[in-house]
A and B are shown apart, each in its own frame.
Chain A
Amino acid sequence: MNRIVHPRALAVLLALVAGTAGAADPLPAIQQAARAGGNFTGFSAERGAAFYRAKGSDWSCATCHTPDPRQPGRHTITGKAIEPMAPAVNPARLTDAAKVEKWFKRNCKDVLDRECTALEKGDVITYLRSLGR
């Protein structure tokens, strides 16, 4: 029996393992950053909800993600469909720390013309996770 693993199969396997290793809960690192900022007393789903709906200069999170994060959204410029943000209806959300950071960076700049603070990010994640079905 030939027991040699095809190099390509091995590469795919390694990529899969690396992919799962890279996926992680984004909240611990954000919490650590919030603590480092001082005066941290915990994240708030209520504050997160208010932030989610608050407009920056023109847009809010809700502009593309709709006022109810359990609903599918739509990119306000390109029209592209966006999967729901709430993990209750879309379990893949908020499971990959790098992805979460990447999108906070981009979207906060779109909405607020600045990056979000650790407190804002933690509040929004807490809000999204607080939503039931």
Chain B
Amino acid sequence: MNTHRIAVSLLAALAGITAAGGATKAPPPAPNLAWQEECGSCHLAYPPRFLPAASWQRVMAGLGDHFGTDASIEPAVAKEITTWLAANARKPKAGKPEPVPPPLRITETRWFIGEHDEISAARFKSPAVGGAANCAACHRTADQGNYSERNIKLPPK
């Protein structure tokens, strides 16, 4: 085996790894226009991957009292959004039971709590942030669905 062939097989192996990595970290789905419009006007349109399908179905079934606000929308639009959210929702992990009832708030999910454990409650409540609902206060590219670590910038205290 010459060095060239080794290099080729190494490249092939690397490509395989990248492809596998890409499979687990799929690019965000093309945004649904109704979701962007209806879910993105009072708060940032939270990406479907932030909640499991069962949670989205609960959220969408209760828009008449959406965390204290009447956020009801046209039934046909609600149906379209629910289908899109559920199709792109967080997939349950094998062997990890999903909480029952499914959480309504993203901030109550285990992964959210885990990801934000270094952020104090006071920091969330600070005037520049206002609350955990305001992703874009720190995730500066959240409006484009990008929550990458390198785009985080905490506002001044």
Residues of A within 8 A of B (CB): 74-75, 77-80, 105-106, 109-110
CB distance from A111 to the nearest CB of B (A): 11
Contact between A78 and B70, CB atoms less than 8 A apart? no
Chain B interface size range: 10 to 19
The CA-CA distance from A110 to B68 in the complex, in Å, is 8
Contact between B134 and A80, CB atoms less than 8 A apart? yes
Contact between B130 and A78, CB atoms less than 8 A apart? yes
Contact between A79 and B69, CB atoms less than 8 A apart? no
Contact between B130 and A106, CB atoms less than 8 A apart? no
Query: What are 5 A-B contacts with C-beta separation under 8 Å?
Result: A77-B133, A78-B130, A78-B133, A79-B134, A80-B133
Contacts of B130 in A (CB 8 A): 74, 77-79
- State whether A75 and B137 are in contact (beta carbons under 8 Å apart), knowing that A106-B70, A110-B69 are contacts in the complex: no
- State whether A106 and B69 are in contact (beta carbons under 8 Å apart), knowing that A75-B42, A79-B137, A80-B43 are contacts in the complex: yes
Residues of B within 8 A of A (CB): 42-44, 67, 69-71, 129-131, 133-134, 136-137
**One of B42, B69, B70, B71 near A80 (C-beta < 8 A):** B42
The CA-CA distance from A106 to B131 in the complex, in Å, is 21
Contact between B69 and A75, CB atoms less than 8 A apart? no
CB distance from A2 to the nearest CB of B (A): 28
20 more contacts with CB within 8 A, not counting A75-B43, A79-B133, are A74-B130, A75-B42, A77-B67, A77-B130, A77-B131, A77-B133, A78-B44, A78-B130, A78-B133, A78-B134, A79-B129, A79-B134, A79-B137, A80-B42, A80-B43, A80-B44, A80-B134, A109-B69, A109-B70, A110-B69
Contacts of A105 in B (CB 8 A): 70
- State whether A106 and B134 are in contact (beta carbons under 8 Å apart), knowing that A78-B43, A80-B42, A80-B44 are contacts in the complex: no
CB distance from B142 to the nearest CB of A (A): 11
The CA-CA distance from A109 to B43 in the complex, in Å, is 18
Contacts of A110 in B (CB 8 A): 69-70
CB distance from B67 to the nearest CB of A (A): 8
Contacts of B43 in A (CB 8 A): 75, 78, 80
Sorted from nearest, which 10 A-B pairs have the closest CB atoms? Answer: A79-B130, A79-B134, A78-B43, A78-B133, A109-B70, A80-B43, A110-B69, A75-B42, A106-B70, A78-B42
